[in-house]
Amino acid sequence: MTERIGYLGPAGTYTEQAALLYAPDARLAPYPTINAVGTAVADGELDAGVVPIENSLEGSVTFTLDLLIAQPGLSIRNEVVIPIDHYLVAPPGVSAAAVQVIYSHPQALAQCRAYLETRFPSALSEASLSTAAAVADMQASPVPAAAICPQRATELYDVQILARGIQDNTVNQTRFAVLAHADHPPTGHDRTSICFAFAVDRPGNLYHSIGEFARRNINLVKIESRPTKRELGRYIFLIDCQGHRAAPEVAAALDGLRQRVDMFKVLGSYPFWEPHES
């Protein structure tokens, strides 16, 4: 049976590109928001969903983190990492010199700020819901406009390419999470994501908690915090560690951590992405 996979749409986004890379033979469906993708997976409407979770320049995607924390029935089953290569496009016949406004997602605009300030100092930057939606905004603009979008969008829409690779930093990658009901079986090359919180703030809480990993020589590859949204100054901590939750040492560390905290959730164990994988 063909797998049903949703992604943060519309068609032509980097997320669609990641979904195609992850499952080229799946039946893909665009969804308007990250939350809509997660809800569709949790409700069984989809077998999996692909959403952005982290960019190497802009950091974590908070909507995805909040979804994983709050939504039951969701796990990270896999990840996809793709390079971000921004294209500047315009409607056919519109020259670069004529452009008065440039549309794109706020992150894309931020990642191309130096280029835009140098090449288009007088053009206005306008936020769009996505890099693909920016093309529609450009086409509907009452004044000559351009858009920053992925290569995938240039293949789907009637545009002319004004420039390629306009991002200010060439080392620009986005990590996408593949959400499903269950995570991935062990592969020997895995990462585990968890979140936890403390009911009472005490000195040494975090130090002793992450010590469960240090004592077992388990590497933490990421640690950050998100507001609980219940009280100012209270946080949920998110950790990515090397190893699968079923591995004995990781399982022992997770059990030790669980006993030290008041809220605990394994967000999933999944293989590290490698470019040669399909």
The whole-angstrom separation of Cα 210 and Cα 167 is 36
The whole-angstrom separation of Cα 272 and Cα 199 is 32
The whole-angstrom separation of Cα 85 and Cα 99 is 21
Catalytic residue among 15, 174, 196, 213: 174
Please answer whether residues 192 and 269 qualify as being in contact, where contact means their C-beta atoms are separated by less than 8 angstroms.
yes
Catalytic residue among 13, 15, 120, 176: 176
Sequence-distant (≥ 6) Cβ neighbours of residue 35 within 8 angstroms: 63, 67
Active site residue 176: yes
Listed in order, strand segments (DSSP E) in 92-234 are: 101-104, 124-127, 145-149, 160-164, 173-180, 190-197, 220-227
The whole-angstrom separation of Cα 79 and Cα 68 is 14
Q: Give me the active site residues, please.
A: 174, 176
